[in-house]
């Protein structure tokens, strides 16, 4: 049985922190699906199609990683794609507390799907999509926080 993992998030935009987590998770899983979740409670800066395009460009030629857009419960999408693992990145203790609550709820809904936490590289600790969006909105240079393909598309 393949070890399929879902890395869910809004990825608005995809940051170097996200890429760091995916790249370091690659030895752990046979397939990583980066799931762009549509959340009615959030008003994204970038379209789901744009975020998916970035993911596909970043991992072009890497068969182990693919992007997808989904709606609804993450645990239901895991069942749809056959994922037995959910990958989450942790920057701070507060992230862990929040993520553990979600992991506990997901485990209650389906005990066969396990959440795996990876801590981010210290150099990416301050990289949060919220901060990056603020930098972009205010005309700042977000290059240090973004993969080259994301930065290049924003410059257009």
Q: Would you please indicate which residues are annotated as catalytic (active-site) residues?
A: 18, 42, 91, 129
| Alpha-carbon gap, residue 66 to 63, rounded angstroms | 7
Residue 114: strand pairing partners: 85
- What is the per-residue DSSP string for 43-108? --SS-HHHHHHHHHHHTTT-TTEEEEEEES-HHHHHHHHT--EEEEEE-SHHHHHHHHHHHHHHHH
Tokens encoding 54: 């970035």
CB of 110 within 8 A of CB of 73? no
């Amino acid at each position: 049985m393949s070890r399929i993992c879902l890395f869910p998030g809004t990825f608005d935009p995809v940051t170097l922190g996200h890429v760091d987590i995916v790249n370091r998770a690659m030895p752990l899983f046979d397939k990583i699906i980066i799931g762009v979740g549509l959340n009615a409670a959030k008003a994204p800066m970038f379209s789901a199609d744009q975020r998916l395009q970035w993911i596909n460009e970043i991992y072009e030629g890497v068969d182990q990683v693919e992007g997808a857009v989904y709606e609804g419960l993450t645990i239901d999408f895991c069942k749809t794609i056959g994922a037995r693992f959910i990958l989450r990145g942790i920057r701070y203790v507060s992230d862990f507390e929040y993520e553990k609550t979600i992991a506990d709820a997901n485990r209650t809904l389906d005990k066969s799907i396990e959440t795996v936490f990876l801590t981010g590289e210290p150099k990416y600790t301050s990289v949060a999509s919220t901060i990056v969006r603020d930098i972009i909105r205010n005309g700042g240079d977000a290059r240090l926080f973004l993969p080259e393909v994301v930065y290049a598309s924003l410059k257009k």
